[in-house]
A = this chain, B = another copy of it.
Amino acid sequence: MAENEFVKEIADIKNDFPQWYTDVVLKTGMADYGPVKGTMVICPYGYAIWENMQREMDARIKANGVNNAYFPVFIPYSYLEREAEHVEGFAPEVAVVTYAGGEELAEKIVVRPTSETVICNMFSKWVHSYRDLPFKVNQWCNVVRWEKTTRPFLRTSEFLWQEGHTLHATQEEAQEMTLKMLEVYREFCENVLAIPMFVGRKTEKEKFAGADVTYSIEAIMQDGKSLQSGTSHNLGQNFSKAFDIKFLDKDGTHKYCYQTSWGTSTRLIGALIMTHGDQRGLVLPPKVAPIQVVIIPIQAQKEGVMDKVREMEKELCDAGIRVKVDDTDQTPGWKFNEYEMKGVPLRIEFGPKDLERGNLTYFRRDKNEKTTTMLNDIVAKVSELLDDIQKNMLEKAKKFKDEHTVTCRNRDEVISAIEKGNFARAMWCGDRACEEKFKDDTTITIRNMPFNQERVGDTCACCGKKLDENEGKLVLLAKAY
């Protein structure tokens, strides 16, 4: 069986999804394990994907009037303690520096798990008047959260991310910004990563430590589990009160600022792998693929073949398409396998017959289909194909998402739907204790509460409580990474 040729090095995607994931990450050279437990190395191929993601995301962040800056990785331990919920949330997972420069430190230092506290300290020095508002910064950096169980990209002691932080004069403006950045994330995931999202509000239990409200985008992976892919927080005045960030308003009185923060991370690379990958390995959307087109010369020694290949390479390269020619002495079959595993969206095979007949033979990784057509305008054809692959990958992922979202009326239906690899939409009474008990019993969590609320049942699907007409919330339930 042809399919089997590609299977040999990668675990079965249907039977052992976790091992399939690890195999794909390691064998494609995306990441490796660092020497300190729980850390990862992002290898060149994985990092090139991250650079493409960064470029797209960074442009969107700047288009919203946010400038980049850089804040220190070291935070005084006492800063963490200023916001009560914040320290409770993060203290158990921080790494602490106690020695530096050969001496024991007078005050312990935390390696940033997130930067609200150090940034708030600076905000309180920088912001004085309504004229200074809104104040918007973002940083791209590493953060550290000590984890017991780790997996490359999904959960590691150190990861890379962007964290945006904004200050506003009013609660309304802060709320608007919170939702605007959530929409930026959703649009980015859909249009760049080809991953459709479930958008909604987190429950009190699941919100960010220190926020008034947290919103998230959640994606369904091929094993039916949810990957939280980005969060946006309305912090209200919690941190501005703890760090004394006040401004002189137009009315001559001093007021505490309203604040937001929002972040996405290298975790999105995990989402990319588990949304689009197949038995052969990675499938990358053209917009973030380090190599968009690979050209494999067939019988390269035959006259004219390499000349034409180099001509195509130059034309594509000049048009800004990320193209690679593999003219090494490996067999074509080995190369096909290799670049399919690496998820290259489009492969061109070019040999003497193609040259003679004026043909273009290409393989689309999204459909695993080979086609031969007339070679006319190579740039126009490749651009069209890359656009179509990008579009098709999103449609395929949307179809999967829709087919795996099940509306459930009770606990049994929820558990059964999720066991079959679906997300469940169901009513929840709104009680935190009910949510916690349901999670303890089933390992299923409320991912978020969709913006478009509707009533899909009369009882709480978690505890069975009868819900009055105005009681209960529609929630999205799943097991999560």
| A137-B100 contact, Cβ under 8 Å, with A36-B75, A122-B32 | no
Q: Which of B43, B72, B92, B141 contacts A39 (CB 8 A)?
A: B72
Residues of B within 8 A of A108 (CB): 99
B44 pairs with A67, CB closer than 8 A:
yes
Tell which of A142-150, A176-184, A347-355 binds the partner: A142-150
Per-position 1/0 for A105-126, Cβ under 8 A of B: 0001101000000100110011
Whether the pair B97, A68 counts as a contact (CB closer than 8 A) is no
Which residue of chain B has the shortest Cβ distance to A91 in the bound complex? B102
Which residues of B lie under 8 Å from residue A6 when comparing CB positions?
none
From B71, B92, B97, B146, give the contact of A41 (CB < 8 A). Answer: B71
CB contact between A35 and one of B67, B91, B118, B148 (< 8 Å): that residue: B118
Is the CB of A450 closer than 8 A to any CB of chain B?
A: no
B72 touches A97 (CB 8 A): no
Interface bits A126-147 vs B (CB < 8 Å: 1, else 0):
1000000000010001101011
B122 touches A72 (CB 8 A): no
Q: Decide: A74 and B43 in contact? CB cutoff 8 A.
A: no
- The answer on a CB contact under 8 Å between A72 and B32 is no
Provide the bound-state CA to CA distance between A111 and B111, in Å. Answer: 9
**A96-B99, A97-B96 are known contacts. Are A34 and B148 too (CB-CB below 8 A)?**
no
Contact B74 A34 (CB under 8 A): yes
Q: How far is the CB of A122 from chain B (nearest CB, A)?
A: 6
**Is A157 close to B, CB under 8 A?**
yes
Number of interface residues of A (CB under 8 A): 55
Residue A2 interfacial (CB < 8 Å): no
Residue of B nearest to A34 (CB): B72
Residue on B nearest A160 in the bound complex, by CB:
B70
**B69 to A43, Cβ gap below 8 A?**
yes
Nearest chain B residue, comparing its CB with the CB of A92: B102
Say yes or no for A327: interface residue by CB 8 A criterion: no
**Which B residues are in CB contact (< 8 Å) with A73?**
39, 73, 111, 142, 144, 158
Given contacts A48-B68, A70-B160, contact A95 B97 (CB under 8 A): yes
Q: Is the CB of A121 within 8 A of B43?
A: no
| Cα-based distance from A75 to B160 in the complex (angstroms) | 17
Asked if A475 is at the interface of the complex by the 8 Å CB criterion, the answer is: no
Interface contact B44-A137, CB-CB below 8 Å = yes
Partner among B39, B67, B97 whose Cβ is within 8 Å of the Cβ of A48: B67
A430 at interface, CB cutoff 8 A: no
Q: What B residues does A144 contact at CB under 8 A?
A: 73-74
Contacts A98-B98, A100-B146 aside, 8 further interface pairs with beta carbons under 8 A come to A35-B72, A42-B69, A51-B68, A73-B142, A73-B158, A92-B102, A95-B99, A95-B100
A-B complex: 4 closest residue pairs judged by Cβ atoms: A101-B146, A44-B67, A39-B72, A34-B72
